[in-house]
Amino acid sequence: MPEAATPPSTSRPSESSGRIGLRFRELAEAGELGLVAYLMAGDPSIEASEKIVIAAAQAGADLIELGVPFSDPVADGPTIQRASERALRSQTTLARVIELVGRLRARTDVPLVLFSYFNPILQMGLGSFARAAAAAGADGVLVTDLIPEEAAEYRAAIGARGLDTIFLAAPTSTDERLKKIAASTSGFLYLISRTGVTGVRDKLSEDLPALARRARQFTRLPLAVGFGISEPAHVSILGGIADAAVVGSALVAEIERAHTPAQAAAAVAERVAVLKRAAREGIGRKPAAGDD
C-alpha cells in the first residue's frame, strides 16, 4: 500500500520551485523557447542511454524526458514502440531507469522527468517509487495513461516527495477538461499538438494556437508542445505559441539508425543542437525583457 500523504491542493498551480521551474524562468528571462528531449531509457542499453542523455544535455536540451519501456505502449507510434522493445530486450526496468537518473544527476543539472505508463509505477508501489525517484534526483513524473480523476493517490505520493506531476492535454480537451488537467499539473503542462500517437509529422496542427490560448486561461505554468515536433521550422513556429517544444521520435530515430552507442550520442547531440539553435533564433522567438 502506498504511504499516507497530505492530499494535493486543488488551488491553481503556479511555478515549480525546483529545477524545472528554475529552467523555465531562465528561458523566460532570455526570451527563449525551451527544448525538451524525449529519450527512451535503455535504448539500446542503460549504459548507452547515460552517454546519449549527457550528449543531449551538453548540446542544449533544456529538459530531458526519460521514457520507461513498457510492453504495451498504446500512446506511442512505431518509432518509440521499437525503442521500447529494444530497451526491454536489454533488461531495462523502472528500477534500473531510476538508478540511471542517479548517475545522470551526478553529471548534470538538467531537469529530468520520468515518462512512464502507470503499470510499472503501480507494480513498484506509489510510495516506493516516489521515494526512490526523488532520492535519485528526478524532478518530475509524467504518466501517459493516468487521468486526473483517478490520480489523487498518485499526486499525493509524488507531491509529498517534491516531484512535479505533469499531465497531458489534447486538442479535443474541452475547457472544463483543461481546467481539471491544469489543476492537477505542476512543473509544466504538456500539450499534445494533435490527436493520435507519437511520431514525426511534416507540419503542425492548425488547432494548436487555439489550444494554447485556451490552456493559458487555466494555468500560469509553462506550456510544452509535443507529438510530431521534429524540424527546426516546427520549433521556430512554436516560439510564438508555447514555452517549450518536445522532440521525441526524431531523436529516437537517430538512435535506431546508429551502429554504435557513440554514433547514437553524436547523432542525437547534432540534432539537438540544430533544434536548439532554431529555438534561440526562430522567427517566433518571444522578446526578452528590454528587447524592442
Could you confirm whether 243 is annotated as catalytic?
no
Q: What is the pTM of this model?
A: 0.87
pLDDT tens-digit profile of 155-178? 999 999 999 999 999 888 999 999
Could you confirm whether 292 is annotated as catalytic?
no
Average pLDDT score over the chain:
87
Q: Is residue 21 assigned to a domain?
A: no
| Range ranked top by mean pLDDT from 8-12, 62-66, 194-198, 202-206 | 62-66
Residue span of the structural domain in which 68 resides? 33-281
Q: Is residue 286 assigned to a domain?
A: no
Contact 47, 291 (CB under 8 A): no
Residue 3 has pLDDT above 80, yes or no: no
Amino acid identity for residue 236 in this structure = S
Q: Is residue 100 assigned to a domain?
A: yes
- The arithmetic mean of pLDDT across residues 57-81, rounded, is 90
Instruction: Report the number of distinct structural domains present in the chain.
Output: 1
Q: Is residue 44 assigned to a domain?
A: yes
CATH at residue 198? 3.20.20.70
Output the CA torsion 270→271→276→282 (10° steps).
120
Position 208 scores a pLDDT of: 85
pLDDT tens-digit profile of 116-155? 999 999 999 999 999 999 999 999 999 999 999 999 999 9
Q: Is residue 2 assigned to a domain?
A: no
Q: Is residue 99 assigned to a domain?
A: yes
Q: Is residue 4 assigned to a domain?
A: no
Q: Is residue 267 assigned to a domain?
A: yes
43, 62, 65, 254: which one is catalytic?
Answer: 65
Position 203 scores a pLDDT of: 54
32, 43, 62, 76: which one is catalytic?
Answer: 76
